[in-house]
């Protein structure tokens, strides 16, 4: 199988590319700065793109069996000014538009497109259980996810199967949210954020990658899928579990007002959450390797 990946130099993309190469697939990654891409697996072909058009790579789509669109500026890359929010949004819409143009211009179409999204699609939901049937929310992250998903929707009318991955908090040792969450515990000042009652839909990086491959390979898998473990936890339970794994206390609560002062609107990322479950993914037959938080953290942290 030949797979074209956008956003392949990020946390999920690097692991996904390695898994694809390891199973014998041909992998092409589009990057704005391919010369500066670090830790990419051997055997991955890197191509430069501008993030907005199919110029220089569009013909590859006609050769690809699958496309994985992970491209988009990191939402946690800095305080959410209006300009940063514009860049976050536009980076996603531009990438989706470029892919649609490339598919439209290709005589041969890929069989499947995996479209990235996030559980933020649903907006804050308190203790309510959230499935793929739950309507979209109306805050910035929800509107962003809706537009991100819609950016590649036109390929379905061209005969391309499309699976949407609404990903939770990806847990990995080499990047993402976990290293920043763990840092305070190293100095014995870890604890819950805000009241700690907000839900955290988490997923081990291994399951994130395996689920993407599962959706890529299963011809009947289309539409949205929550990529989060079947057992979400509250932020307080997450903090206690980190403390247990590290042998550290977990009582230094960070007040919500302090996080709002520090992060502004971006504080919603850590203070609001969704009790999301992967109803459609498990219903399709996916079996999680890590469905409980404690074993997942112990594996990642080598305990």
- Mind listing the pLDDT tens digit for each residue in 42-52? 999 999 999 99
The residue-averaged pLDDT of 298-302 equals 95
pLDDT at 35: 78
The residue-averaged pLDDT of 167-196 equals 93
pLDDT at 153: 98
User: 97 to each of 66, 69, 85, 129, how far by Cα in Å?
Assistant: 17, 11, 18, 33
- Mind listing the pLDDT tens digit for each residue in 140-170? 999 999 999 999 999 999 999 999 999 999 9
* Percent share of the chain, pLDDT over 90: 85
Residue 204, classified by CB atoms within 10 Å of its CB into exposed (0-12), middle (13-18) or buried (19+), is buried
Q: Worst-scoring range by mean pLDDT, 46-60, 114-128, 194-208, 258-272? A: 258-272
pLDDT band, residue 57 (cuts 50/70/90): very high
pLDDT band, residue 219 (cuts 50/70/90): very high
Q: With CA atoms as reference, report the closest residue to 120 among 150, 140, 98.
A: 140
In the predicted structure, residue 139 carries a pLDDT above the cut 90: yes
The residue-averaged pLDDT of 256-264 equals 80
In the predicted structure, residue 274 carries a pLDDT above the cut 90: yes
pLDDT at 149: 98
pLDDT band, residue 77 (cuts 50/70/90): confident
Q: Worst-scoring range by mean pLDDT, 90-94, 210-214, 269-273? A: 269-273
Q: Worst-scoring range by mean pLDDT, 96-105, 142-151, 267-276? A: 267-276
In the predicted structure, residue 38 carries a pLDDT above the cut 80: no
In the predicted structure, residue 270 carries a pLDDT above the cut 90: no
Q: With CA atoms as reference, report the closest residue to 196 among 256, 236, 160, 255.
A: 236
Q: With CA atoms as reference, report the closest residue to 43 among 67, 68, 24.
A: 24
Q: Is the dihedral of CA 58, 41, 173, 216 positive or negative?
A: positive
In the predicted structure, residue 32 carries a pLDDT above the cut 90: no
Q: With CA atoms as reference, report the closest residue to 64 among 102, 110, 5, 28.
A: 110
In the predicted structure, residue 131 carries a pLDDT above the cut 90: yes
In the predicted structure, residue 271 carries a pLDDT above the cut 90: no
Q: What domains, with CATH codes, occur in the chain?
A: 2-168+201-229+277-289 (3.40.50.720)
């Amino acid at each position: 199988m030949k797979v074209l990946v956008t956003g392949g130099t990020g946390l999920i993309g690097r692991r996904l590319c390695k898994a694809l190469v390891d199973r014998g697939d041909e992998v092409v990654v589009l990057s704005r700065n391919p010369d500066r891409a670090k830790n990419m697996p051997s055997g991955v072909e890197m191509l430069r793109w501008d993030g907005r058009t199919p110029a220089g790579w569009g013909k590859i789509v006609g050769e690809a069996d699958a496309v994985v669109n992970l491209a988009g500026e990191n939402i946690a890359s800095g305080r959410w000014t209006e300009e940063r929010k514009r860049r976050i949004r536009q980076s996603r819409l531009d990438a989706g538009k470029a892919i649609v143009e490339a598919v439209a211009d290709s005589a041969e179409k890929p069989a499947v497109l995996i479209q990235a999204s996030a559980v933020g699609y649903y907006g804050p939901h308190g203790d309510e259980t959230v499935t793929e049937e739950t309507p979209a929310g109306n805050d910035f992250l929800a509107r962003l996810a809706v537009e991100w998903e819609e950016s590649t929707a036109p390929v379905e009318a061209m005969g391309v199967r499309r699976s949407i991955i609404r990903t939770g908090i990806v847990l990995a040792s080499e990047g993402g949210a976990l290293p920043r969450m763990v840092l305070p515990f190293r100095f014995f000042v870890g604890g819950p954020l805000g009241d700690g009652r907000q839900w955290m839909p988490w997923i081990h990086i291994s399951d994130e990658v395996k689920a993407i491959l599962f959706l890529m390979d299963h011809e009947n898998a289309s539409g949205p899928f929550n990529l989060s473990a079947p057992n979400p936890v509250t932020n307080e339970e997450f903090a206690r579990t980190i403390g247990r794994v590290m042998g550290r206390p977990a009582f230094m609560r960070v007040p919500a007002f302090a996080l709002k002062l520090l992060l502004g609107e971006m504080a919603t990322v850590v203070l609001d959450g969704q009790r999301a479950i992967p109803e459609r993914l498990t219903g399709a037959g996916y079996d999680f390797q890590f469905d409980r938080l404690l074993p997942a953290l112990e594996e990642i942290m080598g305990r």
